[in-house]
C-alpha cells in the first residue's frame, strides 16, 4: 500500500510539472527578411544557397501564398505591428506621422504592448554575442505610443521567458548602397564570416520585363547573393537559440516585410512587390497546432496582416474584437481568406494610388493615377536602382521591345488582371480579354475591391495636402539628387 501511495504521489508531481510546462506559452522569434520574394531554395529558387531557411521549412510549414498589405516597408510594418490595414489607420503613406501628434485609433495597440501585458519580455535585436544579426529597424508610421520593446539585449531577453524577439536582416536593403557583393570575385563578406557567391552575371536569369543587359544581370546576381547572405544570419540565430537551450521552446517565424528589392518590385503591387515568403517552425516542447507539420506546404491565401493575430494566438492572447488580422493557426483558427488586399499610396515624394486583390490564381490591380507609371520620378529609385536609368536610355535609343518596352510606356492601364500561375512574371494583362471566364473573374475581383474599400474605410481616397508632400521632395533631393532630365520637355 505504501509503495502504491509513493508511486501515485510521484505521478502527481510529474503530472503537475508537465502541466506547468505545457501551460507556459512558447517564446516567439520573428526573423524579418527585408525586401525579398520567394527567392530561397525551399521555394525552388536557383543560384542561391539557403540551407538554414530550408531547415526551418523542413521542420515546419512553408506558406506559398502570403502577400504584404503594402509593397514598401513603413506602411507594411505599421500594418502587421498592430493587426490593422494601414489604409484603415491612416498609416498608408510612406513615412507619414513622424513629426505630428498622430496616435493609433482607440483600441488599436502595438503587438509588443499586448505581449508585454501577457508576461512576455520583448526585444528588437541587433547583435547576439559577437554577431550582427539585425538592424534594429522600426520604420513605423506611428511614433507616439511609447517604447515598443523592453530591451535590445539578447542575453537579457533569454533570461526572462517567455520572450518575443524581432530580428531584421540587413543584407538586401543595405547592399544597394555599398554593393558589397561585387567587391570580391568568389565570396561575400557577411559580418565576420565568408560565404560563397553563388549567383554570377553569367548564371542568372532576370525577369523578362528587363532587357538582357550586363548591368541587369549584375544587379540580379547582387540581389540573389544578398539572399544567400540572409541565410547565413538565419543560421547564426538558430545556432544561438540552440546554444542558449531555448530552441525547443521557441516558435520561429521567418517572413519578408514586403516584396523584392528591384525596380519593378518594391513600391509596386505586382507579385514582385507584395509576394513574400513565410515559414513557421514549431518547438519540440510544445504541442503544435494542426496546421504545422514537418515539411508541410500551405497554399492558402494569407495576408501578412494575419501575422499579428497568429502571433497573439501562439502566446495565448485573444485578439481584440475589431482587429482585421486573422489567426491562421489552431483548432479555432479563423476562416481562410479568399483574397489578400494590398495598397500603394505616396512613397517618398511620388504620389500614386494602386489597389491590389490577390487570389490563389488571379491578381487584379486598379491604378487610380494612370499617368503615374514606371517612368515617374522617384529619386531614391533613380539613384539606387541603376536598371531604371539604363532602361530610359535604351528606350530613347530604340533598343527595347516586348515586355521591357511595355514597362516603359508613359501610361499605366487603369486595370490589370493577371493569371499569376500561368504568367508568374505578370506581363500579360488580361483585363481586356473577351473570354467570358476572364470577364467573370474581373467583375468578381472588382466587386471585392469595392467592398473592401468601404468595409475597411480606405483612407487612401483622400490625398495628403501639398504642404505635407513638399518636404519629402526636398528631403529626397538632398539625399539622392534630382536627375538632369527631370523638368525638361
**DSSP state letters, 94-119:** TT-SSSS---PPTT---HHHHHHHTT
Residue 268: is its pLDDT beyond 80? yes
Asked whether residue 5 is assigned to any structural domain, the reply reads no
331 contacts 290 by C-beta, under 8 angstroms: yes
Q: Cell 513600391 sits at which residue?
A: 267
How many C-beta atoms lie closer than 10 Å to residue 163's C-beta?
25
Using 50, 70 and 90 to split pLDDT, how confident is the model at 5?
very low
Asked whether residue 485 is assigned to any structural domain, the reply reads no
Distance CA 248, CA 59 (A): 12
pLDDT for 194 equals 55
Considering the domain architecture, whether residues 239 and 152 belong to the same structural domain is answered as yes
Q: Is 107 exposed, middle or buried (0-12, 13-18, 19+ CB in 10 A)?
A: exposed
pLDDT for 488 equals 72
Q: Which residues contact 450 (CB under 8 A, 6 or more apart)?
A: none
Asked whether residue 443 is assigned to any structural domain, the reply reads yes
Residue 182, CA atoms < 13 Å, CB-side half-sphere: 16
pLDDT for 189 equals 54
Q: Tell me the β-bridge partners of 279.
A: 62, 254
pLDDT digits (tens, 9 = 90+) for 317-342: 999 999 999 999 999 999 999 999 99
How many C-beta atoms lie closer than 10 Å to residue 474's C-beta?
10
DSSP state at residue 151: B
CA dihedral 279, 164, 309, 61 (to 10 degrees): 20
Q: Which residues contact 108 (CB under 8 A, 6 or more apart)?
A: 82, 83, 84, 89, 320
Q: Kindly report the backbone phi and psi dihedral angles of residue 232, in degrees, each rounded to the nearest multiple of 5, phi listed first.
A: -60, -45
Length, in residues, of the chain: 489
Whole-number CA gyration radius for the chain: 23
Considering the domain architecture, whether residues 375 and 430 belong to the same structural domain is answered as yes
Between the two ends of the chain, the Cα-to-Cα distance in Å is: 100
pLDDT for 13 equals 46
Asked whether residue 10 is assigned to any structural domain, the reply reads no
Considering the domain architecture, whether residues 42 and 137 belong to the same structural domain is answered as yes
Using 50, 70 and 90 to split pLDDT, how confident is the model at 16?
very low
Asked whether residue 199 is assigned to any structural domain, the reply reads yes
Provide the CATH number for the domain around residue 197.
3.40.720.10
pLDDT digits (tens, 9 = 90+) for 443-453: 999 999 999 99
Select from 337, 372, 394 the last residue of a domain.
Answer: 337
DSSP reduced 3-state for 278: strand
pLDDT digits (tens, 9 = 90+) for 109-152: 999 999 999 999 999 999 999 999 999 999 999 999 999 999 99
Number of folded domains in the chain? 2
Considering the domain architecture, whether residues 451 and 313 belong to the same structural domain is answered as no
Distance CA 10, CA 138 (A): 49
> How far is the CA of 283 from the CAs of 25, 82, 160, 194, 401, in angstroms?
11, 25, 18, 30, 51
Higher pLDDT, 238 or 182: 238
Considering the domain architecture, whether residues 217 and 135 belong to the same structural domain is answered as yes
Select from 337, 352, 380 the last residue of a domain.
Answer: 337
User: What sign for the dihedral angle of Cα 15, 21, 22, 24?
Assistant: positive
Return the C-alpha cell found at 301: 491565401
Q: Which residues contact 283 (CB under 8 A, 6 or more apart)?
A: 26, 27, 247, 248, 249, 250, 251
Asked whether residue 140 is assigned to any structural domain, the reply reads yes
DSSP state at residue 301: B
pLDDT digits (tens, 9 = 90+) for 53-103: 999 999 999 999 999 999 999 999 999 999 999 999 999 999 999 999 999
Name the helix (H) or strand (E) containing 164: strand 163-169
Considering the domain architecture, whether residues 323 and 373 belong to the same structural domain is answered as no
> How far is the CA of 335 from the CAs of 277, 312, 331, in angstroms?
21, 17, 11
User: What sign for the dihedral angle of Cα 445, 264, 87, 74?
Assistant: positive
Considering the domain architecture, whether residues 331 and 389 belong to the same structural domain is answered as no
Q: What percent of the chain has pLDDT over 90?
A: 88
Asked whether residue 6 is assigned to any structural domain, the reply reads no
Asked whether residue 355 is assigned to any structural domain, the reply reads no
Return the C-alpha cell found at 63: 506558406
How many C-beta atoms lie closer than 10 Å to residue 202's C-beta?
8
- Residue range of the domain that includes 249: 25-337
Amino acid at each position: 500500500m505504501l509503495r502504491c501511495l509513493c508511486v501515485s504521489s510521484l505521478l502527481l508531481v510529474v503530472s503537475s510539472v508537465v502541466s506547468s510546462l505545457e501551460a507556459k506559452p512558447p517564446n516567439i522569434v520573428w526573423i524579418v527578411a527585408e525586401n525579398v520574394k520567394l527567392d530561397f531554395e525551399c521555394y525552388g529558387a536557383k543560384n542561391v544557397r539557403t540551407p538554414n531557411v530550408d531547415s526551418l521549412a523542413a521542420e515546419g510549414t512553408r506558406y506559398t501564398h502570403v502577400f504584404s498589405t503594402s509593397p514598401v516597408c513603413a506602411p507594411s510594418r505599421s500594418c502587421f505591428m498592430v493587426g490593422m490595414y494601414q489604409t484603415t489607420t491612416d498609416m498608408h503613406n510612406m513615412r507619414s506621422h513622424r513629426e505630428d501628434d498622430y496616435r493609433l485609433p482607440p483600441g488599436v495597440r502595438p503587438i509588443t504592448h499586448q505581449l508585454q501585458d501577457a508576461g512576455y519580455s520583448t526585444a528588437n535585436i541587433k547583435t547576439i554575442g559577437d554577431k550582427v544579426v539585425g538592424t534594429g529597424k522600426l520604420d513605423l508610421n506611428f511614433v507616439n505610443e511609447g517604447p515598443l520593446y523592453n530591451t535590445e539585449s539578447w542575453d537579457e531577453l533569454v533570461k526572462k521567458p517567455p520572450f518575443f524577439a524581432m530580428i531584421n536582416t540587413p543584407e538586401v536593403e543595405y547592399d544597394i548602397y555599398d554593393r558589397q557583393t561585387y567587391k570580391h570575385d568568389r565570396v561575400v563578406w557577411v559580418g565576420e564570416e565568408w560565404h560563397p557567391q553563388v549567383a554570377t552575371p553569367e548564371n542568372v536569369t532576370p525577369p523578362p520585363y528587363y532587357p538582357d543587359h550586363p548591368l541587369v544581370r549584375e544587379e540580379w546576381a547582387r540581389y540573389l547573393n544578398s539572399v544567400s547572405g540572409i541565410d547565413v544570419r538565419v543560421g547564426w540565430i538558430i545556432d544561438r537559440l540552440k546554444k542558449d537551450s531555448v530552441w525547443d521552446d521557441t516558435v520561429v517565424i521567418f517572413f519578408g516585410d514586403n516584396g523584392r528589392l528591384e525596380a519593378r518590385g518594391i513600391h509596386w503591387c505586382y507579385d514582385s512587390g507584395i509576394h513574400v515568403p513565410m515559414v513557421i517552425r514549431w518547438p519540440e516542447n510544445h504541442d503544435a497546432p494542426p496546421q504545422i507539420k514537418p515539411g508541410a506546404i500551405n497554399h492558402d491565401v494569407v495576408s501578412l496582416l494575419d501575422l499579428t493575430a497568429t502571433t497573439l494566438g501562439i502566446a495565448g492572447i485573444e485578439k481584440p474584437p475589431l482587429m482585421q488580422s486573422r489567426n491562421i493557426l489552431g483548432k479555432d483558427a479563423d476562416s481562410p481568406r479568399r483574397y489578400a488586399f494590398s495598397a500603394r499610396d505616396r512613397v517618398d515624394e511620388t504620389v500614386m494610388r494602386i489597389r491590389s486583390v490577390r487570389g490563389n490564381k488571379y491578381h487584379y490591380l486598379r491604378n487610380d493615377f494612370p499617368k503615374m507609371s514606371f517612368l515617374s520620378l522617384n529619386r531614391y529609385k533613380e539613384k539606387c536602382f541603376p536598371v531604371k536609368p539604363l532602361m530610359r536610355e535604351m528606350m530613347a535609343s530604340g533598343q527595347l521591345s516586348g515586355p521591357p518596352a511595355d514597362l516603359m510606356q508613359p501610361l499605366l492601364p487603369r486595370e490589370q488582371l493577371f493569371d499569376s500561375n500561368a504568367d508568374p512574371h505578370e506581363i500579360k494583362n488580361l483585363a481586356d480579354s473577351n473570354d467570358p471566364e476572364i470577364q467573370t473573374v474581373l467583375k468578381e475581383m472588382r466587386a471585392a475591391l469595392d467592398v473592401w474599400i468601404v468595409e475597411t474605410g480606405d483612407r487612401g481616397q483622400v490625398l495628403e495636402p501639398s504642404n505635407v508632400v513638399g518636404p519629402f521632395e526636398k528631403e529626397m533631393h538632398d539625399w539622392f539628387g534630382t536627375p538632369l532630365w527631370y523638368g525638361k520637355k
